[in-house]
Amino acid sequence: MVWPHEVAACFATRTDPLRAIEEAGVASNATRSRVTVVGSLNMDLVARAPRLPHPGETLAGRTFAQVAGGKGGNQAVAAARLGAQVSMLGCVGADANGAQLRAGLEAEGIDCAALETGNEATGVALIVVDDASQNAIVIVAGSNGEVTPETMARHEAVLAAADVVICQLETPPATVRAALAAARRLGKTVILNPAPATGPLPADWLPLIDYLIPNELEAAALSGLPVETPEDAAKAAAALRAAGARNVLVTLGARGVHATLDGAAATLHDAPRVKAVDTTAAGDTFIGGFAAQLAQGASVDVAIRFAQRAAALSVTRAGAQPSIPTRAELDASI
């Protein structure tokens, strides 16, 4: 998700999602809020610089930090902090980074029984963040490449225990396909965050997915259509629905979320306005918050508004997992 560098904060004008849930007669239920995340875990190496470097250029940076990340890990932490019971299904290396990532997840109360230790080094992400809060990222998969269809089979009980299963594209495609298929067969609500997407998804994936949630760049790659405006997002989402996707949410950062849902009119959900510091993990925060709300029985509209507020709060802070808010922090921002 892409957020502007300086705009006025206005959380106070937003509808409280908790109140909306209560008015809809949906009570939070800890026994009905289980989320399983299948995906990547990386150690993020983050440098801040005045701008992103040009090809071949050496640029002086300002600060450096090493923080837990990876889309799978970020989304697991977001779902846990925002109210769900979470299990992580993935792989780290037998190294210091892997031990640190595992300990961090466990400290969040995330079940790591299905988090295996592989032979490769733990995945890493090299991230540069500029003064406009934009970022450029290079990922080295490492142990994330050792998550296989056989891994899914070994831990099917973890998938079976979930209400919502989340996948991304930072593990091998065959693994993602196996996870989607298993979750569909088990009757779970299935979310795919197609990141990073470089082209259309295999046609047989789309019927396995309940909620396809790309950002504008990913929606363009998946649909083959340009996505620069909310109107473009509507066209891309319609094309993805025609190809077999049930529900498509295109995240547009500060411009909101375009929702094209089965049996409903397409809707643009305006985003809260904030002063952005770092957009890293904003999309992951949205995914985790959205999944946590669905697992608790919230409507899609309520889940979207809740997730938008969580993502907006995350961009006001630096880092990936350090920026993800807790439920209490989100409630206090109203």
Residues identified as active-site: 284
CA-wise closest residue to 39 among 231, 171, 157: 171
Q: Which helix (H) or strand (E) holds 117?
A: strand 115-117
Q: Is 98 annotated as contributing to ligand binding?
A: no
Q: Is 43 annotated as contributing to ligand binding?
A: yes
Spatial strand order of the sheet with 257-260 comes to 115-117, 85-92, 34-38, 164-167, 189-192, 211-212, 247-251, 257-260, 267-269
Q: Is 63 annotated as contributing to ligand binding?
A: no
Q: Is 215 annotated as contributing to ligand binding?
A: yes
Q: Is 319 annotated as contributing to ligand binding?
A: yes
Amino acid identity for residue 17 in this structure: P
Yes or no: say if 191 and 164 are a contact pair by the CB < 8 Å rule: yes
**Sign of the CA dihedral with 83 first, then 302, 314, and 72 last:** positive
Q: Is 285 annotated as contributing to ligand binding?
A: no
Q: Is 177 annotated as contributing to ligand binding?
A: no
Q: Is 314 annotated as contributing to ligand binding?
A: yes
CA distance 2 to 253: 4
Torsions phi, psi of 100, nearest 5?
Answer: -70, -40
Q: Is 283 annotated as contributing to ligand binding?
A: yes
Q: Is 72 annotated as contributing to ligand binding?
A: yes
Cis peptide before 196 (omega within 30 of 0): yes
Q: Is 61 annotated as contributing to ligand binding?
A: no
- Known binding-site positions for ATP: 215, 251-256, 283-284
- Known binding-site positions: 42-44, 70-74, 170, 215, 251-256, 278, 280, 283-284, 314, 317, 319, 323
- Known binding-site positions for K(+): 278, 280, 314, 317, 319, 323
- Known binding-site positions for substrate: 42-44, 70-74, 170, 284
